[in-house]
């Protein structure tokens, strides 16, 4: 990794300075030297090093003064302080002033090597974050997450803010609102970005295999365990684990999961040895956590452990002003995927989109655009490119809506109303719109149905 990375060594003792420079060169760094703080400042100006490794006591300008000036004028340059024995107070003061760390002389080369690599990793991550913040400020975009609306900008800032730490984050929101994308973005903007991002979909794994998915297993641990297999914590070691659809995890497994989170250790099924893991855990759910808690689908102790920060991804119908930006970003991606060159949608399409409630959120928008660009070789999507079924519930959803002769008008109306509410996920405003009745009429009908329940 260090190949060509510029490091400046500052020390008034020629032998120490040259010795350290030779060592760093041998590791592949591009090293330059300075004999005191004043010379160091000149070298920083001309040589633009990424890291300064400086002695504390030096004539002219000492290490502490140098550190102060570097922090002020070259804040992107990292600083490692070398200290003699008995200068621990100054060393601590140095880290308070923003030095990455301090190392005691005589230097332990292994320690130096590791600290330097970690320092560069942190610097990389800070740079990525800085670039991401700028892009968020200038273009309103964070990673692949798009949204200029106030709602989305709040979400994106929160994501940028929590990304660098290792805090657990619970990401909530309806299906298709970008929860997984948010989790990936958190990972990519964290110092763990170069390590794995592992996503486990708790809804897709059979209950009997859930534990082994999390903890891993040894060969023969249970019938069907033909091979030793690492669990997702081991796979994500050093990186980030997304527990997707956490509300679907069996309650017994939740208890085991909690133990792993508390101890940072896993023991594979059928194994006696514990393995230490360093994993940042993110969890996502499209359930309302408080409801899942109340229904006993989510253990409260696990919930509190995961819910250090909660990020709620708003439904698309609540930030429709982001449609143009979302369409632009999704089209760009879909064009690349399908080798198309659709640049925009005509006004009529945009209007139609603005008047829709998007129960499937951004994923549904993406699907609609994807189907449309496949039939449009040109560069503008037109009304006629949008499938006729747009906005209609998928066939499987209208099972409650079988109309046959002999049904009373009142009963047909009742079924239509209830099914529409089902489709809009109980969004009454939207349902009333779709039904072409006022919200008040809808409420009245619902009251009527309540008072005369049907079997
Ligand atoms: N703000 C956004 N900007 C750009 N693309 C987005 C945004 N939100 C969602 N998407 C896209 O929408 C699709 C669905 O997102 P994602 O899979 O993250 O949703 P989800 O909330 O995890 O859904 P589910 O609950 O169904 O798993 C993806 O293709 C994603 O790239
Ligand atoms: Mg998801």
Domain containing residue 208: CATH number: 3.40.50.300
Contact 41, 88 (CB under 8 A): no
Dist. CA 349 → ligand 2 center (Å): 27
**Residue 397 domain flag:** no
pLDDT more than 90, % of the chain: 67
Dist. CA 361 → ligand 1 center (Å): 8
Domain containing residue 333: CATH number: 1.10.8.60
Query: Atom 9, ligand 1: which residue's CA is nearest?
Result: 178
154 & 270 share domain: yes
Distance (Å, whole) CA 372 – CA 359: 19
Q: Does residue 437 register a pLDDT over 50?
A: yes
User: For the chain, how many structural domains are there in total?
Assistant: 4
What pLDDT, on a 0 to 100 scale, did the predictor assign at position 399? 52
Q: Does residue 1 register a pLDDT over 70?
A: no
**Residue 23 domain flag:** yes
Dist. CA 182 → ligand 2 center (Å): 10
164 & 220 share domain: yes
**Residue 431 domain flag:** yes
Distance (Å, whole) CA 440 – CA 426: 15
Residue 177 Cα: closest atom of ligand 1: 21
Query: Atom 29, ligand 1: which residue's CA is nearest?
Result: 363
**Residue 130 domain flag:** no
Query: Atom 16, ligand 1: which residue's CA is nearest?
Result: 178
77 & 165 share domain: no
What pLDDT, on a 0 to 100 scale, did the predictor assign at position 138? 83
What pLDDT, on a 0 to 100 scale, did the predictor assign at position 25? 96
Q: What is the domain range of residue 36?
A: 6-125
The token pair that represents 256 in the structure block: 């085991």
Confidence of residue 396 (pLDDT cuts 50, 70, 90): low
**Residue 322 domain flag:** yes
Where does 218-266 show beta strands of DSSP type E?
A: 229-230, 240-244, 265-266
- Please state the rounded mean pLDDT for residues 184-210: 91
193 & 299 share domain: yes
Confidence of residue 425 (pLDDT cuts 50, 70, 90): confident
Dist. CA 178 → ligand 2 center (Å): 7
Pocket residue to mutate for ligand 1, from 135, 140, 363, most atoms within 8 A of Cβ: 363
23 & 164 share domain: no
Cα–Cα nearest to 285, from 307, 301, 264: 307
Burial group, residue 409, by CB count within 10 angstroms (0-12, 13-18, 19+): exposed
Instruction: State the ligand closest to the CA atom of 182.
Output: 1
**Residue 303 domain flag:** yes
Average pLDDT of every residue of the chain: 91
pLDDT digits (tens, 9 = 90+) for 333-357: 999 999 999 999 999 999 999 999 9
What pLDDT, on a 0 to 100 scale, did the predictor assign at position 350? 95
The token pair that represents 266 in the structure block: 């896993």
**Residue 135 domain flag:** no
What pLDDT, on a 0 to 100 scale, did the predictor assign at position 455? 46
Dist. CA 81 → ligand 2 center (Å): 45
Q: Does residue 34 register a pLDDT over 60?
A: yes
- Please state the rounded mean pLDDT for residues 448-454: 76
Q: Look at residues 69, 101, 125 and tell me which one is the last residue of a structural domain.
A: 125
333 & 308 share domain: no
229 & 369 share domain: no
Domain containing residue 29: CATH number: 3.40.50.2300
What pLDDT, on a 0 to 100 scale, did the predictor assign at position 324? 95
**Residue 393 domain flag:** no
pLDDT digits (tens, 9 = 90+) for 318-331: 999 999 999 999 99
If you search the block for the tokens 């760009």, which residue do you land on? Answer: 332
The token pair that represents 378 in the structure block: 């040109």
Cα–Cα nearest to 180, from 371, 323, 363, 370: 363
42 & 13 share domain: yes
Domain containing residue 437: CATH number: 1.10.10.60
Ligand 1 site, CB within 6 A: 144-147, 173, 175-181, 286, 326, 329, 362-363, 366
Distance (Å, whole) CA 414 – CA 446: 9
Q: Look at residues 99, 125, 151 and tell me which one is the last residue of a structural domain.
A: 125
């Amino acid at each position: 990794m260090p190949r060509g990375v510029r490091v400046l060594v500052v020390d008034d003792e020629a032998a120490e300075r040259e010795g350290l420079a030779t060592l760093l060169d041998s590791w592949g760094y591009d090293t330059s030297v300075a004999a005191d703080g004043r010379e160091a400042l000149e070298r920083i100006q001309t040589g633009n090093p990424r890291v300064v490794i400086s002695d504390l006591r030096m004539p002219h300008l000492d290490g502490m003064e140098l550190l102060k000036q570097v922090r002020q004028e070259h804040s992107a340059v990292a600083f490692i302080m070398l200290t003699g024995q008995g200068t621990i107070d100054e060393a601590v003061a140095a880290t308070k002033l923003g030095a990455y760390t301090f190392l005691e002389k005589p230097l332990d080369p292994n320690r130096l090597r590791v600290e330097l690599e970690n320092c560069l990793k942190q610097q990389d991550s800070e740079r990525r974050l800085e670039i991401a913040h700028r892009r968020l400020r200038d273009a309103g975009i964070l990673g692949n997450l798009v949204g200029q609306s106030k709602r989305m900008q709040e979400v994106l800032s929160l994501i940028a803010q929590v990304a660098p730490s290792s805090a657990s984050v619970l990401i909530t929101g309806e299906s298709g609102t970008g929860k997984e994308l948010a989790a990936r973005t958190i990972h990519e903007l964290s110092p763990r970005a170069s390590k794995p991002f592992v996503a486990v979909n708790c809804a897709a794994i059979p209950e009997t295999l859930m534990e082994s998915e999390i903890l891993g297993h040894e060969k023969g641990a249970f019938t069907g365990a033909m091979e030793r297999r690492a669990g997702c914590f081991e796979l994500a070691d050093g990186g980030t684990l997304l527990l997707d659809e956490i509300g679907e995890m069996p309650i017994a497994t939740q208890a085991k999961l909690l133990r792993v989170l508390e101890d940072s250790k896993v023991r594979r099924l059928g194994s006696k040895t514990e393995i230490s893991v360093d994993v940042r855990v993110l969890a996502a759910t499209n359930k309302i956590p408080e409801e899942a808690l109340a229904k006993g689908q989510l253990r409260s102790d696990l919930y509190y452990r995961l819910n250090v920060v909660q990020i709620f991804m708003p439904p698309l119908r609540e930030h429709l002003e982001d449609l143009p930006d979302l369409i632009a970003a999704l089209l760009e991606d879909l064009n690349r995927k399908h080798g198309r060159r659709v640049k925009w949608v005509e006004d009529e399409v945009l209007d139609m989109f603005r008047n829709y409630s998007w129960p499937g959120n951004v994923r549904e928008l993406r699907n609609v655009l994807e189907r449309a660009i496949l039939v449009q070789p040109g560069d503008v999507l037109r009304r006629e490119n949008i499938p006729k079924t747009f906005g209609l519930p998928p066939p499987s959803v209208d099972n409650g809506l079988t109309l046959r002769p002999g049904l009373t008008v009142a009963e047909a109306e009742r079924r239509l109303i209830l099914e529409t509410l089902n489709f809009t996920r109980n969004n009454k405003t939207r349902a009333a719109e779709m039904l072409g009745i006022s919200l008040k009429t809808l409420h009245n009908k619902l009251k009527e149905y309540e008072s005369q329940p049907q079997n």
